[in-house]
Amino acid sequence: MPTVTPEIRRLFHSRPYGDSVRFLRSRLPAPPDIALVLGSGLGDFAESLPHRLIFPSGGIPSYPRSTVEGHKGQIVSASLAGRNLIAFQGRIHLYECNDLSMVLFPVIVAAELGAGTLIVTNAAGGINRQFSPGDLMLITDQIDFTFHATGIPGNHGGNRDLFDPVLTEHASRVAAVRGLPLRRGVYAAVKGPSYETAAEVEMIHRLGGDAVGMSTVKEVALAAMLGMRVLGISCITNKATGIGSSKLNHEEVTEVANRVKMDFAVLLTDCISGIRV
């Protein structure tokens, strides 16, 4: 079970996540084993889940609302292969609110409901020259370039990996069995909302980043502090500035995510089916 310490609770002093937890707990058929955060254009995975219950964020007390296209802003409860799931269709980005408690709200809610595993997904720009739009990338580590303190004391990773190595290898095996190409790499996050310049992309490349986006790193940091197991998957939706020749826009991000959603769904489904809870 995740451990929510008094220090972590204080991070949410201005946003009563307990209201959301009580609302959902009273309506969920069972406590969730696995929580999923579905990023830009990837939320359709939740639509395929059987026996799902849908909770629009506007009807959940104290729950923040996403404003970005491709993020529906609702919570889906379902069961898959005997695992109880809670899926967050869309997320709140730091550039939308400049309020870390809103960004981390889904993670703390999932932890309080009992989810011991977190699967985070996102759309990202490819920095590694070997990556192409439509590739899926297993996140092996992350770099936080948001320059926004978490407010959580201590070392987020401690002496262990942020991304659970057992889950990471499990996902690799699943992809190999299915014949799905699955890249591996380091995800770097900037605050946004502007896309990075060519010079910034080159900097991130030299510092070890393989893909770049505007989310995920804070959620993963909190999950690590809570003791949750984390699996991360990026959908490479475009080549980053200075690597690709096309002009970047959010429409391209959602279009490419839609194009690979079947492979994404197969990978997630098989990964979830094999996770021990």
Q: Which residues belong to the active site?
A: 40, 71, 93, 95-96, 123, 214-215, 238, 250
All residues at 6 or more sequence positions from 277 whose CB lies less than 8 Å from its CB, including other chains: 33, 34, 83, 116, 117
Pick the closest to residue 57 from 47, 46, 49, 65 (CA basis): 65
Tokens of 166: 């057992």
CA dihedral 186, 113, 104, 18 (to 10 degrees): -170
Q: How far is CA 117 from CA 46, 196, 252, in A?
A: 17, 31, 30
Distance CA 104, CA 163 (A): 17
What are 133's two structure tokens? 């739009």
Peptide linkage before 193 cis (omega within 30 of 0)? yes
What backbone torsions phi and psi does residue 107 show, to the nearest 5 degrees? -70, -45
| Short-list 98, 108, 93, CA closest to 20 | 108
> What phi and psi, each to the nearest 5 degrees, are found at residue 242?
90, -15
